[in-house]
Amino acid sequence: MADLRINLAGIKSPNPFWLASAPPTNSGYQVQRAFEAGWGGAVWKTLGDPILNVTSRFAAIGFNGQRVAGFNNIELITDRPLDVNLKEIYETKKKFPNHAIIASLMVEPKQEKWHEIVKRVEDVGVDGLELNFGCPHGMAERGMGSASGQVPALVERQTYWAKEVAKTPVIVKLTPNITDITATAEAACNGGADAISMINTINSLMGVDLDSWNTIPHVAGKGAHGGYCGPAVKPIALNMVAECARHPHINVPISGIGGISNWRDAVEFMLMGATGVQVCTAAMHHGFRIVEDMIDGLNNYLDSKGIAAVSDIIGKSVPKYSDWGNLDLNHNIVAKINPDVCINCNKCHIACEDTSHQCIDMLTDVNGKSYLKVREEDCVGCNLCSIVCPVDGAIDMIEAPRELAPMTWNDRQTALSVAVECKADVAK
């Protein structure tokens, strides 16, 4: 049994799986059910001045018959009075002293507002604070959420205000609706953040109804953009976590969020630098009980790898993530089709023929049996065939004999500039 405990900037939890600030953490009843199911922590649904919500709040897109590939919402922060939430946080923390409760906060960008709310929530015994600079809808129109989170100076200043009074660790939750998330991550660090979390939801319109031509979802015939999350956003979130993790000026722990649906996703985020993860859509799709497999799967994975503690994997893949200019131009892989496994659907052929490099031939052997073969000399190692192949093991991407020593684009440019200088010298 591996040690699954984490310590994120001083916030301890029995495992790395937290519920993100969202509908699942709206009340003490829900958070207590979640802790009973095994969740290690919960970021309480964002507290602030109570708001009004609309009905018809969520929507999802499916893919090829699978439900909830992506999910969006136009629900705002908590619509319950602050004192009710605080009372329930107090009671929940008392019942579950070893689980992490983090209060998500969103107030107007005013110093006194931040001071007031930080003090009030810390009084009821939260383990940490998460500043919500991320929600892209509704609150942003009032200058909060992602409207704050898109301006590095505002991120820094508000973090600083929170930190002025905070006694518990402060996590800054960042919006992905920005060109370069490391800019706001760095601003949070400069404001004194103890940790950062990402990503919040992405601006999205889920769809348009083909019969009514209404937006999906719509509120009495009108729609507004919502926040996108769920499995479809995972690659975007993973990149943002990794970019922050490898950034030289961002040196605080990261809480990874975005499309994490199972233990495998969690391992990927942690390898890419997250100290723990937050989950929402998967719980909304399946209920709190899915955490059981997350914990069990993670534990079995660590045991099978002989890793004693989950904290040992944090950031282990970060050194493998770099810039394109540092990739070896002379690395050479080619596709190889295994005729014994191939079922002859010919998808690799048509994908390569129409949209890649025309190097997979449809052939017939002496017995009249069809087979597919890669002309390796023409294969550029793009992976497309192995991506579209529906059968595991039918196409391998194999390393071809290397013809040239490793050289990156950056190496090459450096070499060329040296050569130019030499020529210049010769010319002199």
If the CB atoms of residues 234 and 347 are measured against another protein, the closer one turns out to be 347
Residue type, 173: K
CB count in 10 Å sphere of residue 297: 15
CB–CB of 30/177 below 8 Å? no
349 forms part of the interface with another protein (CB under 8 A): yes
Stretch that binds another protein, among 73-81, 314-322, 346-354, 420-428 (CB under 8 A): 346-354
> Of the listed pieces 49-57, 191-199, 282-290, 344-352, which binds another protein according to CB under 8 A?
344-352
**Nearer CB in complex with another protein: 246/347:** 347
The percent helix, strand, coil of the chain (3-state, each to 5) is 40, 20, 40
**Per CB under 8 A, does 356 bind another protein?**
no
Closest among 106, 58, 31 to 229, alpha carbons compared: 58
Structure tokens at 428: 């002199």
Taking CB under 8 A as the rule, does residue 350 contact another protein?
yes
Based on its alpha-carbon atoms, the radius of gyration of the chain, rounded to whole angstroms, reads 25
- Residue 35 in 3-state DSSP? helix
- Contact yes or no for 243/182 (Cβ under 8 A): yes
| x/- map, 48-67, another protein, by CB under 8 A | ----------------xx--
Kindly indicate which of the ranges 121-129, 237-245, 343-351, 412-420 contains the residues binding another protein, using the contact rule CB under 8 A. Answer: 343-351
CB of 422 to another protein, least distance (A): 53
List the interface residues with another protein, window 374-393 (CB under 8 A): 390-391
Contact between 37 and another protein per CB under 8 A: no
Q: From the candidates 135, 189, 379, 389, which is the catalytic residue?
A: 135
Residue 348 tokens read as: 């690799």
CA–CA gap between residue 126 and residue 100 (Å, rounded): 8
- The reply to whether 362 sits near another protein by the rule CB under 8 A is yes
From the CB of 364, what's the least distance to another protein, in Å? 12
Q: Are 96 and 128 in contact (CB under 8 A)?
A: no
Active site annotation includes 135: yes
Q: How many residues bind another protein (CB under 8 A)?
A: 12
Question: How many whole angstroms separate alpha carbon 99 and alpha carbon 41?
Answer: 5
Which residues are annotated as catalytic? 135
Q: Which residues bind another protein (CB under 8 A)?
A: 64-65, 343-347, 349-350, 362, 390-391
